[in-house]
Structure 1
Amino acid sequence: MSKTTRATQALDKAGIAYEVCSYAYDPDADKVGMQAAEALGVAPGMVLKTLMVLADGKPACVVVPSDREVSMKKLAAALAAKSAQMMKPADAERLTGFVVGGISPFGQKRAVPTLMEEGALGQPQVFLNGGQRGLQVKLSPADALKALGAKAAAVVA
């Protein structure tokens, strides 16, 4: 497994300190983020999942703790949209340049508005996908927010 991906290159370019953590990815896992937390031996709230969504038909990215669900109503409001829905996996792969299970919010092919669940900012460290299945990057949530140019918002149900 390569430890250098577009995601890690984006973090390097932004001058953000991070640690690369790999784990045995289970393609049959019901919830990838929860499986990553278990494999890494950390609380599920520390592992943030990257979801690609459409807000009024426009792409956006939302990063939330793996043990929480996004409220589409809250997400739409945070993006000043009337409605929001999950993006189809094939569309998410095409837009980001990453495969499902390995979609990172960092280093996506096309920059889109990004939100991070504000509750995640209370964690000392968070894990986000590093750009491939079985690869996570560990960093401070404030650094993740900065690197993403994201907005913190209450978007979980």
Structure 2
Amino acid sequence: MGKRRHREQAAATPAIRQLEEAGVAFTMHEYDHEETDEGYGLEAARKLGFDERQVFKTLMADTGDERVIGVVPVNGHMSLKELAHAVGAKKAQMADPKVAMRESGYVVGGISPLGQKTRHRTVLDESALEFGTILVSGGKRGLSLGVDPRDLLEVLGAATAPIATRKKSY
């Protein structure tokens, strides 16, 4: 585990390449992933020693007209209603995991908002702006990237909205 900006420890993923090409400072955080019922993001927060509110998961939803990406803290859920509202849709539902893997180019548990095969509109939960650095998946299980949420918004051309909740959602 360490904080490195370069490819010394992990092979470069499309997520890393996108940040490097944009000239954005970031840190790499690796850990040994284990299959548990804990959830990928919660495992990352625990193993890396970060506050669960500071570690974000990437989810893909389908509005019927397009697929969109929601990025929310791992200790909560994504409100599909709020995500739909944020992108001007009437409703949204979770995308099929096979579709999410095909269009992102990543496996479930390693889907990053960065470097996806197919570019999608992205909404970052507004709580990210409370931190100077948040962690998002680096494009594979066991790899997280620390990045300023403002830089993430700029690189992705993303918006912020209150899309995280603890109510019945995803």
Query: Would you call these one fold, judging by a TM-score over 0.5?
Result: yes
Q: How does 1:11-26 map to 2 (within 5 A)?
A: 11-26=19-34
Displacement of 1:107 in angstroms is 0.4
Corresponding residue of 1:39: 47
Displacement of 1:100 in angstroms is 0.6
User: Which amino acid counterpart does residue 75 of structure 1 have in structure 2?
Assistant: L
Q: 1:151 aligns with which of 140, 153, 159?
A: 159
Give 3-state SS (helix, strand or coil) of 1:130's partner. strand
Is 2:74 aligned against 1:66? Answer: yes
Paired with 1:135 and 1:29, the residues of 2 have a C-alpha distance of 18
Displacement of 1:41 in angstroms is 0.6
Tell me the TM-score normalized by structure 2: 0.88
| Percent identity for Structure 1 against Structure 2 | 38
Structure 2, gaps ≥5 residues long = 1-8, 166-170
Corresponding residue of 1:104: 112
CA RMSD, aligned part only? 1.2
**Aligned residue pair count:** 157
Tell me the TM-score normalized by structure 1: 0.95
Corresponding residue of 1:9: 17
Structure 1, gaps ≥5 residues long = none
Paired with 1:74 and 1:62, the residues of 2 have a C-alpha distance of 10
